[in-house]
């Protein structure tokens, strides 16, 4: 029997949560790996410049993935976009975990970044478009909490790996674990529903009505379902009547105040990233391993730091 009502909302939230946890996982996993002795030996003791390249290429992949979602997101739909992003992460994670050379590691980082960039652009939309208006803020905020959870979890995994002596599993296992979370996300997707807004946008009104009924746990002929279907249809019809939105409209003011909205949303994330949170997440063991601070405990020190609240909203 398909999921309906609250169970369906919980399922969608869990699927989105696992996808966003991947963002946090990849954000923090290298914080406990760069100074790993077996990792350094495998890659010929990389200097800080090479370490920076290994770390930063992931962010390059995130940027490309987010840009890619601009052109393929509305074509594929929300579920397929999340599935594609998870496939990128599985592929990139497998390449990283099996890497024996620096180019292989960098390529794996870029590919995994493609998936994370795509998911962080699509997941909030899917979550908001399948939830009630009064719940959207809380559920989207919960996804950001999952980012923090992913960072903290990977720090504790890195701590556990310090008890494994002289084995490459200490850095290959944390990198491979991102594949597991991505597979979990893919496994949950068939039981979830597509965004009703996207279905209406693609003129699939009957499917949208079925989805709205499942989300509300009621009949397809229910007055509330038909009313919401009409509102979404009229809104999308008005958007289509206005013609295709160009870049000039995106960065303009006018009645919709598009540029102001972009500044409020993207600007906050930009300044959070400029605050240096990525240094904390990705180079934590390098700067916190001091004679007066146990290097083992330094792998988890930022996981309890309040500064992680900034990283949660640093979406690429």
- Report the pLDDT value the prediction gives residue 274, as an integer from 0 to 100: 79
Burial zone of 261 (CB within 10 Å; 0-12 exposed, 13-18 middle, 19+ buried): exposed
Structural domain harbouring 305: 5-193+275-311
Question: Is 70 exceeded by the pLDDT of residue 44?
Answer: yes
Domain count, the chain: 1
pLDDT at residue number 283: 62
Does residue 100 fall inside a structural domain? yes
- For the ranges 81-95, 141-155, 205-219, the lowest mean pLDDT is seen at 141-155
Ranking 80-84, 166-170, 178-182, 304-308 by mean pLDDT, the lowest is: 304-308
User: Would you place residue 254 in the very low, low, confident or very high pLDDT band (cuts 50, 70, 90)?
Assistant: low
Q: What confidence tens digit (pLDDT) does each residue in 116-145 have?
A: 999 988 998 899 899 888 888 888 788 888
What is the structure's pLDDT at 97?
94
Rounded distance between C-alpha atoms, residue 253 and residue 301, angstroms: 44
Mean pLDDT calculated for residue range 144-167: 88
281-314 burial: b if 16+ Cβ within 10 Å, else e? bbbbbeebbeeeeeeeebbbbbbebeebebbbeb
Look at residues 161, 164, 166, 170 and name the one whose alpha carbon lies nearest to residue 300: 161
Asked whether residue 258 is domain-assigned, the answer is no
Min mean pLDDT across 68-77, 97-106, 158-167, 252-261 is at 252-261
Query: What average pLDDT does the chain have?
Result: 83
Flag whether 86 is in a domain: yes
Q: What is the pTM of this model?
A: 0.83
Whole-angstrom Cα distance, residue 210 to residue 295? Answer: 55
pLDDT band at 316 (very low <50, low <70, confident <90, very high): very low
* Closest by Cα among 33, 38, 7 to 178: 33
The predicted pLDDT at position 188 comes to 94
Q: Looking at residue 163, which CATH number applies to its domain? A: 1.20.1250.20
68 domain-assigned = yes
Q: How confident is the model at residue 159 (pLDDT cuts 50, 70, 90)?
A: confident
């Amino acid at each position: 029997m398909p999921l309906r009502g609250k169970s369906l909302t919980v399922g969608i939230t869990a699927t989105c949560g696992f996808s966003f946890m991947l963002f946090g996982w990849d954000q923090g996993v290298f914080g406990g790996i760069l100074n790993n002795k077996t990792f350094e030996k495998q890659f010929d003791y990389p200097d800080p410049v090479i370490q920076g390249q290994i770390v930063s290429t992931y962010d390059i992949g995130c940027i490309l993935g987010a840009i890619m979602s601009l052109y393929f997101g509305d074509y594929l739909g929300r579920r397929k976009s999340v599935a594609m992003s998870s496939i990128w992460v599985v592929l990139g994670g497998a390449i990283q975990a099996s890497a024996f050379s620096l180019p292989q590691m960098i390529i794996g980082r870029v590919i995994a970044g493609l998936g994370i960039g795509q998911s962080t652009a699509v997941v909030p939309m899917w979550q908001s478009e399948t939830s009630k208006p009064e719940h959207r803020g809380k559920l989207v905020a919960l996804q950001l909490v999952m980012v923090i959870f992913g960072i903290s979890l990977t720090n504790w995994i890195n701590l556990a790996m310090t008890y494994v002596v002289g084995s490459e599993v200490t850095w290959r296992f944390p990198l491979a674990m991102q594949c597991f979370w991505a597979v979990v996300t893919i496994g949950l997707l068939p039981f979830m529903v597509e965004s009703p807004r996207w279905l209406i946008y693609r003129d699939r009104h009957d499917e949208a009505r079925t989805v709205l009924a499942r989300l509300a746990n009621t009949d397809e002929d229910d007055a509330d379902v038909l009313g919401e279907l009409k509102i979404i249809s009229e809104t999308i019809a008005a958007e289509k009547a206005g013609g295709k939105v160009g870049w000039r409209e995106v960065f303009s003011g006018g009645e919709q105040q598009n540029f102001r909205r972009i500044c409020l949303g993207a600007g906050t994330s930009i300044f959070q990233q400029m605050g240096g949170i990525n240094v904390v997440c990705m180079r934590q063991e390098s700067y916190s391993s001091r004679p007066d601070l146990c290097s083992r405990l330094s792998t988890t020190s930022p996981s309890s730091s309040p500064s992680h609240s900034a990283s949660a909203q640093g979406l690429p």
